[in-house]
A and B are shown apart, each in its own frame.
Chain A
Amino acid sequence: AQKVTQAQTEISVVEKEDVTLDCVYETRDTTYYLFWYKQPPSGELVFLIRRNSFDEQNEISGRYSWNFQKSTSSFNFTITASQVVDSAVYFCALSEKGAQKLVFGQGTRLTINP
């Protein structure tokens, strides 16, 4: 069975600090996909990134970066030089090739204070 754990329920930092959101997953499939979504106060889930299980290269997109490590079953998300607009709930999700459905973690509420 697939499972995603986001142990950090809430994180609060001051603007311009770097912050890392943790994500640990469980799956028996060898082929799977990992995702991060952002849910701002407006409520709409915004897609951030998709990685497949065969690609462990780290990804950087502007101030965002993702570290995928199969050895520890983790897919962590780092925001560099955080900004107030980064305040949102962030969800990590897993999709097994066999199940073809997204299973979400509980989410991490990130608050960036000015």
Chain B
Amino acid sequence: EAGVVQSPRYKIIEKKQPVAFWCNPISGHNTLYWYLQNLGQGPELLIRYENEEAVDDSQLPKDRFSAERLKGVDSTLKIQPAELGDSAVYLCASSLNSFNEQFFGPGTRLTVL
């Protein structure tokens, strides 16, 4: 069974440019998460989806970050405009439901110059 797929794996952009990350969860997993992981830190939740509904986006900086999961499967996380401090690894995870273990993708390492 395929795991969580993310693309791109690496992205380098200049500040003020837009960037988008894509995630395809494990088939059948209703819950999808986006996390931010800074160097030397544990992941921090940005947003959680139950099917296509964003049920927890309290940690998402809504002035520049947006996310969508239109058909309850794939998801896209966007930053516009990117700032230097956004350099980090963006992780996508999925689970059968909110109480099950989460399975993580390989992440997208973003560098903002």
Contact = CB atoms under 8 A, between A and B. Distances in A.
Interface of A: 4, 33, 35, 37, 42-47, 50, 91, 93, 95, 97, 100-107
A55 to B, nearest CB: 14
A3 to B, nearest CB: 11
A44 B99 contact: no
A33 B107 contact: no
A102 B5 CA distance: 20
Contact of B104 (A44, A103, A106): A44
Interface stretch (B42-50, B61-69, B70-78): B42-50
A43 B106 contact: yes
A114 to B, nearest CB: 25
Contacts, number: 53
Contact of A97 (B43, B45, B89, B99): B99
Contacts of A4: 42
Between A45, A91, A107, the greatest number of chain B beta carbons within 10 A of the residue's beta carbon is seen for A45
22 contacts: A4-B42, A35-B101, A42-B106, A43-B109, A44-B104, A44-B105, A44-B106, A47-B102, A47-B103, A50-B100, A91-B42, A100-B99, A101-B33, A102-B33, A102-B45, A104-B44, A105-B42, A106-B40, A106-B41, A106-B42, A107-B40, A107-B41
